[in-house]
Structure 1
Amino acid sequence: MWEKEININDIKEIRVKTTVYFGIGAITKISDISTQLKNMGIDKILIMTGKNSYKSTGAWDHVEKSLNANEIEYILYDKVTPNPNVVQVDEAAELGKKFGAKAVIGIGGGSPIDAAKGAAILLEYPDKNATELYEFNFTPEKAVPIIAINLTHGTGTEVDRFAVTTIEDKEYKPAIAYDCIYPLYAIDDPALMVSLPKNQTLYVSVDAINHVIEAATTTVSNPFDVLLAKETIRLVVKYLPKALENPNDLEARYYLLYASMIAGTSFDNGLLHFTHALEHPLSGVKPELTHGLGLGMLLPSIIKQIYVAKPNTLAAILSPMVEGLTGDPSEVDKASEGVRKWLHTVGLTEKLSDMGYVESDIEKLTKLVFETPGLSLLVSLAPVDGTEDVVRQIYTDSF
């Protein structure tokens, strides 16, 4: 039983912070949120998003209407890219400073919302920049209020205190985690996600899977993490094929979004380890790599490394994906190959070599895991000793 792998003498901190409006039509709640912001004295807002989806999904119509109705002025930064970088965060923050923004709304998937979190900090620290923030040159204790309007079902960033941004000139992709960047409000509306392309539907859902596998197996995980992991994986295994077959299946989108949200809560509590620590160098070197794809390529090799340390937990949470696991450490290959086979059934078949990486990249990637600010901390939370040899082996096995 997985319960035996929880140390009941450890005192755990369990976090559930953000107010989330969840369900079909939740975007209409932006009206209530805008009214609340105005009542808080917020009359100018910085909005951060990408190029198209904030409009094509219909989210923008509701946001613009509600801000105008409450006489809240806004300024729009729509240059956030997948795997956003510090230049974008600095540009947006500077725009917001000059405008006098008192809050930030992020509209999109993980990239715009994460970038919005960084800008929200910099609006409170006008003498700092995003590179200083992501190289941990200062520790922020405040940020302007953040509103997250989520357009994907994968990252969970709308309910957690994490943000990721790339420092491209160093090929670093660090993650920060501060209480001040919990969104005040979040909107999770599955109707905004029916136009999500098939490959993105797959990759963001794989992101959620990785969140809970890691969170349930770190050295600081708690029973809440395991509970959320079991339900997240059950829901993704059941509903991802349905969403891939019919993008307009709102029930499938609803439960994938719910899985993503509780997965965000899971790793907000249990944190992360190998998969995210090793993926960040992959997309730090190649910013065009989709985060969820990178995670999926690494996952089977990571299961192979960690199963021996957490066999009962992994057997319990992976059961919807891999039948017949008993929690015996000797079934490590069955678990690893079972995860690989499931990924193949939903369409993720790529290896690192397919994405242009070569084996000579392994040393560079391994070095980046331990050099990139914050990633060595994630590695230290793995249930097995996160040595350079282990990291190198995971990359090697993923080719």
Structure 2
Amino acid sequence: MWEKDININEIREIRTKTTAYVGVGAIEKFNDIAKEMSDKGLDSVLIMTGRGAYKKTGAWDVVEKALKDNNIKYVLYDRITPNPEHKDVDEAVVMAKEINAKAVIGIGGGSPIDAAKFAAILLEYPDNKAADLCKFTLIPNKAVPVVAINLTHGTGTEVDRFAVVSIPEEELKPAIAYDCIYPIYAIDDPGLMTSLSEFQTMSVSVDAVNHVFEAATSIVANPLSILLAKETVRLVHDYLPKALKDGSDLEARYYLAYASMIAGTSFDNGLLHFTHALEHPLSAVKTDLTHGYGLGILLPAVVRQVFDAKKETILEVFAPIFGDKKDINAEEAANLVREWLHSIGLTQTLKDEGFTEADLDKLTDLTFTTPSLDGLLACAPVEASREVVRKIYEESL
């Protein structure tokens, strides 16, 4: 395959609406980014990250030095958790205002980068809170610049216009999407991803597969979203087992990071539908549920529901998973997807995660009442009725 002609140690610039730097050692490009920020007067920044990975990976050593070398003041908020919460964003913004932050840098996986996007908006709307964005009482058209330093290979948020922040006390986990929060720069350095655990490695890559399955089968899918979907699934199918076997395999991490990035571009074009609309209530109710893992639990049931409506596309996109099986029905397709998920270590059900049949109506209600999820359901290739949504949850128990 073409991968053998690529030198993973050469940093390549890939342009979507974001300029992304991909390759082993790409973190060093932050020196150039910091200089450009300083030259443009972006001399104070808010940094949003989790509790430890930004240091453990070595990313912080490069970032801190580059900021100091270019006389850029910063304030560090390192308390972002998986499924980031609105109150954390608000706390970070208060700190950012104290130094008049003019840009936001997100270091981490989807959670810190998504939180950074929220903060970037709120710095332009100082009288608003993160909950206003979550509830769509604020519809922004501007944000301060965002730089995304990616430490996982799953969300694609480093190159797209989406962000998710939760209001856990109301069991709400909506998604926003605005052009003003495309990061200006993104860094995808496989060398920063080798410390991911097997569970994290699997979960984030399953997230990428779900992104492209939905983007390729939505009612607004386009040729680009489908093309990128096919390549994403092929790369994850080929390289995820290698990364699970040897977490330090830089070639595997490189192609999983690239797959995640193009998956982000795929759903930036084709949008999402059932699995994301239904997973958000799951991790809003149980905030310790890993997003990608929740998506994987739902995926076989979603495949079953939409297979007949998008059979040819699904057969092409999931060809690496289906193998030489061409004449299959919805039930067989769902079972093949489930077998693949089991092969990479995703064997749980919703029941294993603590959900019961008594939760089905509540989850279904949240799917239809959480702000923004109606937009995802509207993109589904079959009618997103309450009956269909409840059936997906039920089959995932």
TM bin (shorter chain): over 0.9
1:300-349 Cα shifts (integer Å, max 9, x gaps): 000000001000000000000112343x6x61111110000000011100
Distance across 2 between alignment mates of 1:73 and 1:350: 45
Distance across 2 between alignment mates of 1:149 and 1:356: 34
Give % identity: 61
Distance across 2 between alignment mates of 1:362 and 1:56: 40
1:200-232 Cα shifts (integer Å, max 9, x gaps): 000000000000000001010100011000000
| 1:370 alignment counterpart | 368
AA aligned to 1:339 is V
| 1:297 alignment counterpart | 297
Alignment of 1:290-329 (within 5 A): 290-326=290-326
| 1:350 alignment counterpart | 348
* Structure 1 contact 325–331 (Cα < 8 Å) conserved: no
Distance across 2 between alignment mates of 1:235 and 1:224: 17
1:58 aligns with 2:65: no
Distance across 2 between alignment mates of 1:201 and 1:250: 13
* Structure 1 contact 215–225 (Cα < 8 Å) conserved: yes
AA aligned to 2:256 is L
| 2:5 alignment counterpart | none
Distance across 1 between alignment mates of 2:282 and 2:43: 41
The alpha carbon displacement at 1:95 in A equals 1.0
Q: Which stretches of structure 1, 4 residues or more, deviate above 3 A after TM superposition?
A: none
Distance across 2 between alignment mates of 1:172 and 1:308: 32
Alignment of 1:1-399 (within 5 A): 16-326=16-326, 331-399=329-397
The alpha carbon displacement at 1:59 in A equals 0.1
AA aligned to 1:280 is H
* Structure 1 contact 18–159 (Cα < 8 Å) conserved: yes
AA aligned to 2:71 is E
Q: Over aligned residues, Cα RMSD in angstroms?
A: 0.9
The alpha carbon displacement at 1:138 in A equals 1.7
1:21-57 Cα shifts (integer Å, max 9, x gaps): 1100000000000011011111100000000000000
1:86-130 Cα shifts (integer Å, max 9, x gaps): 001111111111221000000000000000000000000000100
Secondary structure in 2 aligned to 1:100? Answer: coil
* Structure 1 contact 362–396 (Cα < 8 Å) conserved: yes
1:168-218 Cα shifts (integer Å, max 9, x gaps): 111000000000000000000000000001100000000000000000010
The alpha carbon displacement at 1:16 in A equals 2.7
* Structure 1 contact 325–335 (Cα < 8 Å) conserved: no
**What is the TM-score of this pair, normalised by structure 2?**
0.96
Secondary structure in 1 aligned to 2:351? Answer: helix
Runs of 5+ consecutive residues of structure 1 not aligned to the other structure: 1-14
Q: How many aligned residue pairs are there?
A: 383
Secondary structure in 2 aligned to 1:351? Answer: coil
Distance across 1 between alignment mates of 2:225 and 2:132: 32
Distance across 1 between alignment mates of 2:137 and 2:97: 21
AA aligned to 1:319 is A
| 2:8 alignment counterpart | none
1:341-367 Cα shifts (integer Å, max 9, x gaps): 000011100000001111100000000
AA aligned to 2:348 is E
Secondary structure in 2 aligned to 1:354? Answer: coil
Distance across 1 between alignment mates of 2:47 and 2:16: 25
Distance across 1 between alignment mates of 2:355 and 2:388: 19
AA aligned to 2:357 is E
Distance across 2 between alignment mates of 1:221 and 1:16: 18
AA aligned to 2:337 is V
Secondary structure in 2 aligned to 1:320? Answer: helix
AA aligned to 1:390 is V
AA aligned to 1:361 is D
AA aligned to 2:395 is D
AA aligned to 2:201 is T
The alpha carbon displacement at 1:377 in A equals 1.0
Distance across 1 between alignment mates of 2:176 and 2:343: 34
AA aligned to 1:398 is S
Moved more, 130-139 or 201-210: 130-139
1:67-91 Cα shifts (integer Å, max 9, x gaps): 0000001000001000001001111
